[in-house]
Homo-oligomer: A and B are copies of this chain.
Amino acid sequence: MESLRTIEIIGTAAFSIAGTFAAMKKRLDIFGTFIIAFVTALGGGTLRDVLIGEVPVKWLFEFSAGFVVLVSTIVGLSFRSLISNYHNVLLFFDSIGLGFFTLVGIQTGMSLNMHPVSCVALGTITACFGGVIRDISLSNIPLIFQKEIYATTCILGGAVFFILLKLDVPKIPVEITCLVTIVVFRLLSVKFNWHLPRIWKTRKPSS
């Protein structure tokens, strides 16, 4: 439980900072920036909890998550003048959040004795859908649907998690390997421009 809380805090902080920089790119005001940071950080977990019936959602009663978002937003805003490349900062914190929140979602599924496939689905939803809501709110095409490998990274990390677990690797190394796999794979895939095959080679698509 305590370990769950720590990874939740790190994931929330990372996604809040990613959301703050995404909002800055669109010139939102301070309050709009906070809301975007909030939905980026808590949107995926909220969708997960609604889908599994874990309502009322926790952040309506416990303010720790909202507090982490607030502090992270302020930190992100404070450091903006030191940063010359918003996009790289966004990418870095987004990758951290992706790893930690995939793990949070997998653990949520395991605590409900769900099938590994369901656990990985919950991990992917937790990690990816905050960013989807953020991108739709900012009128961007969601990152998840663009050419970059995104949700696939979460599924890969989830597969690593359950394969190692089957091999009787202890829980802490399994979690760390899952985390590192996702963060590193995500960063490498952007740096080297890896992408999945597209399906429109045979013709020029319409509109």
Residues of A within 8 A of B (CB): 24-33, 35-36, 46, 50-53, 55-57, 60-61, 63, 77, 80-81, 86-87, 114-115, 117-118, 121-122, 132, 136-139, 141-142, 144-147, 149, 151-152, 195-200, 202-203, 205-207
Contact = CB atoms under 8 A, between A and B. Distances in A.
29 contacts: A24-B199, A27-B198, A27-B205, A28-B145, A28-B199, A29-B147, A29-B196, A31-B149, A31-B151, A31-B152, A31-B196, A35-B144, A35-B151, A46-B51, A50-B50, A50-B51, A51-B56, A52-B57, A52-B60, A53-B56, A61-B115, A61-B118, A77-B199, A80-B202, A81-B203, A86-B205, A86-B206, A138-B141, A139-B141
Nearest to A57: B51
Contacts of A149: 31
A29 B136 CA distance: 19
Stoichiometry, as copies per complex, reads 3
